[in-house]
A and B are shown apart, each in its own frame.
Chain A
Amino acid sequence: MRISYNWLRRYIDLDASIEEVAQKLTSLGLEVESIEHLGRIFDGFYVGEVLDVQKHPNADRLRLCSVRVSVSDYPLRIVCGAPNVAAGQKVIVGTVGATVPKNQHDPNGNPFVLTKATIRGVESFGMICSEKELGIGEDSSGIKVLAADAKVGTPLAEYLGVNDTALEIGITPNRPDCLSHIGIARDLAAAYNTKYIKPIYNRFENKNINISTLATVNVKNTTDCPRYTACIIQNVEVKESPEWLKQLLNAAGLRPINNVVDATNFVMLEYGQPLHAFDYEHLAQHAIVVKSAERGEKFTSLDGKVHELSGNELMICDGERSVAIGGVMGGANSEISISTNTVLLEAAYFSPVSVRKTAKRLGISTDASFRFERGIDPNITVEASERAANLIAELSGGVVVSGLIDIYPQKIVPKIISLRVARVNAMLGTTLSAKQIKDFLESIEIGITAGKDSNLFECSVPTFRPDIEQEIDLIEEVARLFGYDNIENKTSSEVMFSAPDQHERQITAIRTWCESNGLNEVLTNSLIDSPTAKLFGNEIVAVKNPLSVELESLRPSLLSTMLQTVAHNYNHGMSRLQLFEIGTVFSAATEKNRSGYVEGYVEKNNIGICLSGEINMQSWHEKQRVVDIFDLKGLVMSLLRGIGLDNSVLIYYNASTSLTEMTIGVEINNTYAGFIGKVKPELLKKVKIDHDVFFAELDLDVLTKFHAVKTYKGFSKFPTVVRDISFIVKKSVTVADIEILIKKSGGERITAVTLFDLFEGQALGEGMKSVAFSLKINSHEKTMTDAEIDVMITTIVQSVTKTFDATLRSV
């Protein structure tokens, strides 16, 4: 909320600087977000007197003026082009260094700083200003001439009476009592241990007429409208508000409209009570009926918008039709106009829930609805209404009809809440005395009576504090008034042992591995467009109120957003992309969920790895090439080895997905962990990538679950023998199958089988390839003889040649 400091000081004497007061407000939980000195834009502008005017020697339309801006100092020479400048005038002078708010010669009217200027060969030491240049009027035809009695040397802000300061205060939703100047004065008074004063004003009552002869009020829905009051002001003249009122409203950020509306706004910002003024003559049968809207009813509000009503809105009606949306906005059909003579003034207490629902449904938020939603004081109504009625009368020359209609069937009374002194100290970690606590609470008008013993208070909470509902809320008030900074920073709480758990350590290990191996971590959007999401399956989770169709569905995989990242980087000239992301993917659950999640949805924490473009950094020593599937396969295998899953990984090759080709499945301890593949061209086309992209996505829960502390296995004391063998086989025979067969037929003494050469060529024959393996052979029992090894190799060769129809190339 924006408040005026001058306005605030109508209710409280403050013997402190604005900055100190702002700090105090902040420490009370009323955070001052900005301080704006409104007169500061006029710094460097003064009232001056034109002593003498002469022709400019080099320009017909310019004059040389001698202008006095200080009684004690020499006059300034100012070159001026205004046609109306004349000796003897009191004018507004901008001195060197001042910022002129609006440049008349700039189409955008941007501000500019005055400097000592040479104009057609003559030095000029300032500027005589028009009202447009200062933003205080529209006239730009010539300089502003002030009244003859204006005092030379007066700073312009002071001359204009603009000496106010606006404070922007962040009021949290629990403090509706501070949505007014009096409310803020009340909290400040408590903090400064002083008093605040409510406004004192003149009354303009006409005792000869009673309101009961002029109007009726009938509240049919007392749930949504627990209190409704009306009073009437006659013989009003609707006109512009006086300067003081316009200045205060402007300072508080409200645009002045006319004296009647301004008076209601003023009292709203004064007491926090929203008010509405109806043109009495436009109320059919001079009646007010408060009831729910008709279903399908159309209503035109003050701002000219037409609303179709659902029937749940609380409406203020006259004898025939709706005239206002209760607590939200008035209607065009009864608004105050220049011809209004009699005003019916509404001050009511509407139920917060009802106003909130209506305002939300209609998409309207007004100063009134904002306050009603948060809960105003139901017992301030009459006081605020009388204040506003008399102010309207004062400003418009009218009179207030005697009497006030007040429909308040069920009085809302202060809550009584018990407070234990010991509890206060137990929650806050303080050692406050009963007396201190009592003083704090009484300072914000909470009534205290002693309970059974001196350590128990019965607290009566004023109705302007709807947020205080239970003991803990009173404890917060004590803490707030004692000052958060006065509560100890205790660090002696019991030490608890903690270390990152298995899951956390594995995730860190994975990140560290990826980072150390040259991958860049990315974090991408969680929401994608639905057509793309559906490519991944039908169990898509979509949001009902997306920001745009591009951000409608929760990602079922990390692939599509990682591809966007790849596309972005290609578009910005990058050529080597090696990325990983750890993030959540979502789907609708078809089976029973894991516990800890919302029924019907599955969330998985996945790692996505993406390789595309060049494999190496550009260098002098390595030949460049683009990545292929074996780079990614090797990277994934190395990662899994790197995090200790070397013995439990199974790769299989019939994994099919709709998004990748050459797809390889990965299992860890017989649990599916994810896949590795080449992204299908259709998918790449969608994001306009014309390079191959290789992608792997693995379930982190599986990757972190199977980590186990390793058990040492003894190694052989006997030498290892290396033998190479190569075969020519059909291309359709897979290396994996040959490897498996070599291990099987060679038995456990084969400790490693490594493919070290692979080629195809005319010489081998059509459709054939040569594969060469290096075998490591070792026994735990003895040094193997050449003869034994030869027997083993022969067995292997026979087995491979027979099974795969292979030819031995060399041994």
Chain B
Amino acid sequence: MLDQKISELQSEIERILPAIADNDALEKFRIEFLSRSGKLASLYEELKAVPGDQKPVYGQKINTFKKSVETQFESLKASLQSSSASQKIDIDITLPGRERPKGTRHPITQTLEHMKSIFVSMGFGIVYGPEIEDDYHNFEALNFAPNHPARDMQDTFFVKDDIVLRTHTTPVQVRVMKNRPLPLRVIMPGRVYRNEAVSARSNYFFHQVDGLYVDKHVTFADLKGTLVTFAKNFYGSDIQYRFRPSYFPFTEPSLEMDITCFLCKGKGCRICKHTGWLEVLGAGMVHPNVLRNCGHDPEKVSGYAFGMGVDRISLLRYGIDDIRIFFENDLRFLNQF
């Protein structure tokens, strides 16, 4: 009885199996014959009806039969898979790949990191200072006399009468000149504060990078050379530039550096206020009063210093017309960088 069933199944399988050519048919076969409720499983049901002494014999028979069908099934499956890899089959490879989420660095960080990398390659170290600063470091040591109109250039937030939120990163110059041995060649990035109404063009805080080089025999010509090298690396080797005399209490002589507007190439546009030039940094020779305030003899050493605004440069660099968007942190903005 059971013998007959086994041989019937065997011939049925021998008929079907060689004709199977795809995964669907294979799966159909698996369900019909090999699944828990399949035809082979039903043989074990029939085993119940077999007299007790013959059970082990038939059990063994069914097992052997099942094993052989499974082996045939697996080898067919393997051969189908290997042929499907070479044939065009049913996987839609236009499905999107499993991507990793993309993070972003803030555009201001990106500008700053670019600046840092150029200065580091030019031999500058990187140092930081406090954002809560005293009047001495923020103003007095930097040659801002009390009641001098130059203080008006920097609207100040006061924490106490003599404690301010630093209005520039320049006080870090005083700290390093006082605390570190010469020669000194460092840049000083950080956040600074001005008590100004927030608008598209100005924010009450922004980011600056100051630079300082103090050594024997540092000259104005060295300063110009350094700034040109930086500007050509940062803005591109084809830019035009100019230096203008300017005024900062802590440097003398002082200068401002303009580069040709990279939007209009110097023809004049809204961004450069129709002058064709963009102001990109201020600089000068460290004022002898400042050197003296920091314990150095201006007859023996000299130095240059410079400073630039990271946010303003980022506006120009990325073609952004409202500074506030930097600090809104809208993902539709951040994900563009």
Using a CB–CB cutoff of 8 Å, the interface residues on chain A facing chain B are: 26-29, 31-34, 172-175, 352-353, 356-357, 373-374, 426-430, 470-473, 475-476, 479-480, 484-485, 487-501, 504, 508, 511, 514-527, 541-547, 551, 554, 565, 568-569, 572, 574, 577-579, 583-584, 586, 596-598, 600-601, 603, 605, 616-617, 619-622
Chain A positions within 8 Å of B64 at CB level: none
- Segment at the A interface, from B40-48, B52-60, B78-86, B197-205: B197-205
* Interface mask (B159-189 → A, CB under 8 Å = 1, otherwise 0): 1100101000000000100010001010000
Nearest chain A CB to B39 CB, angstrom units: 34
Of B15-23, B26-34, B129-137, the one with at least 4 CB within 8 A of chain A: B129-137
Pairwise interchain contact B149-A374, C-beta atoms closer than 8 A:
yes
Q: Tell which of B6-14, B240-248, B259-267 binds the partner.
A: B240-248
Q: Is the CB of B204 within 8 A of A489?
A: no
Contact with A along B133-160 (1 / 0, CB 8 A): 1100000000000011110110001111
Q: Is the CB of B307 closer than 8 A to any CB of chain A?
A: no
Residues B98-133 near A (CB distance < 8 A): 98-106, 108-109, 113, 116, 120-126, 128-133
A764 to B311, CA, bound (A): 60
Q: On chain B, which size bracket covers the interface?
A: 35 or more
Given that A428-B221, A489-B221, A518-B100 are known contacts, is A543 also in contact with B158, CB under 8 Å in the complex?
Answer: yes
Is B270's beta carbon under 8 Å from chain A? Answer: no
B332 contacts A572, C-beta separation under 8 Å: yes
Cβ contact within 8 Å between A173 and B149: yes
Inter-chain contact B120/A500, CB cutoff 8 Å: yes
User: With contacts A34-B274, A541-B132 known, is A620 near B302, CB below 8 A?
Assistant: no
Q: Is the CB of B72 closer than 8 A to any CB of chain A?
A: no
CB-CB under 8 A from B191, the residues of chain A are 526, 583-584
**If the complex has contacts A374-B149, A572-B330, A572-B332, are A597 and B273 also in contact, measured as CB distance less than 8 A?**
no
Chain B positions within 8 Å of A352 at CB level: 147, 149
- Considering the chains assembled together, what is the distance between the CA atoms of A488 and B267 in angstroms? 27
B205–A429 touching, CB < 8 Å: no
Q: Enumerate chain A residues within 8 angstroms of B273, measured Cβ to Cβ.
A: 33-34
**B141 to chain A: closest CB distance in Å?**
13
SS of B interface (majority): mixed
The 4 A-B residue pairs whose C-beta atoms are closest, nearest first, are A429-B221, A518-B101, A29-B245, A429-B219
B226 at the A/B interface (Cβ < 8 Å)? Answer: yes
For B311, the closest partner residue in chain A by CB is A523
* B334 and A174 within 8 A (CB): no
Q: How far is the CB of A68 from chain B (nearest CB, A)?
A: 36
Neighbour of A487 across the interface among B95, B113, B220, B335, CB < 8 A: B220
Across the interface, which residues of B come within 8 angstroms of A542, CB to CB? 159
Shortest C-beta distance, B200 to chain A (Å), equals: 16
Determine the chain B residues whose CB is within 8 A of the CB of A489 once the complex forms: 221, 224-225, 228
A547-B195 in contact given A498-B120, A522-B106 (Cβ < 8 Å): yes
Contact B126 A524 (CB under 8 A): no
**In the complex the two chains form, is B329's CB within 8 Å of A496's CB?**
no
CA distance A574 to B330 in the complex (A): 9
Instruction: Tell me how far the C-beta of B261 lies from the nearest C-beta in chain A, rounded to whole angstroms.
Output: 14
Taken together as a complex, chains A and B put the C-alpha atoms of A33 and B228 apart, in Å, by 23
Q: A494–B126 Cα gap in the complex (Å)?
A: 18
Known: A373-B149, A514-B103, A544-B159. A498 touches B222 (CB 8 A): no
Write out the residue numbers on chain B whose beta carbons fall within 8 Å of the beta carbon of A501: 125-126
* Contact of B195 with A515 in the complex, beta carbons under 8 Å: no
A484 in contact with B224 given A29-B246, A523-B327, A569-B329 (CB within 8 Å):
yes
Chain B residues with CB under 8 Å of A353's CB are 147
Mark B residues whose CB is within 8 Å of A.
Answer: 95-96, 98-106, 108-109, 113, 116, 120-126, 128-134, 147-150, 152-153, 157-160, 163, 165, 175, 179, 183, 185, 191, 193, 195, 197-198, 204-205, 213, 215, 217-222, 224-226, 228-229, 242-247, 252-256, 273-275, 285, 287-288, 298, 302, 326-332, 334-335
Q: Which residues of A contact B218 (CB under 8 A)?
A: 493
CB pair A504 B126 closer than 8 Å: yes
Q: Are B244 and A484 in contact (CB under 8 A)?
A: yes
* CB pair B132 A547 closer than 8 Å: no
Let me know if A603 and B130 touch, CB within 8 A.
yes
Among B95, B221, B246, B335, the residue within 8 A (CB) of A172 is: B246
Contacts of A495 in B (CB 8 A): 123
Q: A173-B150, A484-B244 are in contact. Are A515 and B105 (CB under 8 A)?
A: yes
- The smallest beta-carbon distance between B253 and chain A, in angstroms, is 4
Interchain CB contact under 8 A, A541 and B159: yes
Measured CB to CB, the closest approach of chain B to A669, in angstroms, equals 23
Among B104, B160, B221, which residue has its beta carbon within 8 angstroms of that of A520?
Answer: B104
* Extra contacts besides A489-B225, A523-B106, A545-B195 (5): CB < 8 Å: A472-B287, A565-B328, A568-B328, A572-B330, A616-B101
- Across-interface contacts of B205 in A (CB, < 8 A): 525-527
In the bound assembly, the distance between CA atoms of A186 and B288 in angstroms comes to 28
Taking a contact as CB atoms under 8 Å apart, the answer to whether A487 and B224 are in contact is yes
Q: A28-B245, A484-B244, A523-B326 are in contact. Are A426 and B219 (CB under 8 A)?
A: yes
Assess whether B98 is in contact with A476, with CB atoms less than 8 Å apart: no
Contact present for B225 and A490 (CB under 8 Å)? yes
Question: Given the known A-B contacts A33-B273, A33-B275, A490-B222, are A598 and B253 also in contact in the complex, defined by CB atoms under 8 Å?
Answer: no
* Distance of A174 from chain B, by nearest CB (Å): 4
Contact A568 B222 (CB under 8 A): no
**Which residues in B have their C-beta under 8 angstroms from that of A494?**
183, 215
**Chain B residues within an 8 Å CB radius of A498:** 120-125, 185
Given A174-B247, A547-B197, check contact A511 B131 (CB 8 Å): no
- A484-B255, A516-B103 known; A429-B245 Cβ under 8 A: no
B294 to chain A, nearest CB (A): 15
Distance (whole angstroms) from the CB of B120 to the closest CB of chain A:
5
- Min CB gap A582→B, angstroms: 8
Instruction: For the complex, give the distance between the alpha carbons of A63 and B147 in Å.
Output: 67
